[in-house]
Structure formats: C-alpha cells, structure tokens
Amino acid sequence: MLTRPSLTIQRRINASPEKVWRAWTDPAQIAMWWTPMGNKVTHAEMDVRVGGRFHVIMHAPDGGTNDVSGEYREIVPGTKLVFTWAWITTPERESLVTIVLRRDGDTTLLTLTHEQFVDEAARDSHRSGWTDVLDALEHLFA
C-alpha cells in the first residue's frame, strides 16, 4: 500500500482542554482565530456529532475565497476530534484531521495530525496554513 504524506504539529495552549475544545467546535469562536495567511472567516457552521458536518468559508486578503468542509468521524468531548477535510475546489482530495487535547497542568497539549494528502506539495501548503491557525489559537488564549 502506498503511504500518503501527513503532518503532525504540537502546541501548548494556555487554557483548559474544555476551553480549547469549545474553540474548535463553536462557529463563533472559529471565526475569531481560524485565520490562516490573513484569511477572514465569513461563514462557519458545525454540527459536532459523528456523521455531522462542518463548513467554513474564508476570504483572503487578495479577494479569493477558500471554502472547506468535512464530516466528523470521531468525537470524544474535550479530548479528541476527527474529521475529514476537503476544499470545494478539490473535493476528490479528501484528507483526515485528528485533534487530540491532553491536560498538562494548567495548559493543554494539542496535537494536530493531518493525513492522507495527495502529495507533498499539498502537505507543505497545509503545514503553513495550520501553523498560522495554531499561532492564532495560542494568541486567543495568551
């Protein structure tokens, strides 16, 4: 079987796992920090249950639109969130995101794993985007 590219990023967030969980599952909070490369969230909806879907539309500083959606596959409240990931422009390139939250004293260790990229270029582009997103999440709780 061919191994597809993936990435893993860890961050320590200055908040409880419950607060970080809400940041990932509340559309109003997503709009405050999910801003890769200067994008602004203009639409966010989340039906956080196994089989439920999310949909986020972002507008880029250059006027472009970024539209991503997916289906929740596994949910352990406050601990783990697994969902598919597909851009509207390339729905055939569905990948998988896993967010794991672990309490560490007064902080949360967040591990984001994004798997099943079509190629290394897609992985590298997403690494840049996720880095920006997680920087903004850290800042939200700074």
**Tens digits of per-residue pLDDT, 67-103?**
999 999 999 999 999 999 999 999 999 999 999 999 9
CATH code assigned at 60: 3.30.530.20
**Which residues span the domain enclosing 60?**
7-140
Tens digits of per-residue pLDDT, 34-59?
998 899 999 999 999 999 999 999 99
Alpha helices in the chain (DSSP H): 17-25, 27-33, 120-140
Number of domains making up the chain: 1
Structure confidence at residue 109 (pLDDT) = 98
In angstroms, the CA 136 to CA 30 distance is 10
2 part of a folded domain: no
1 part of a folded domain: no
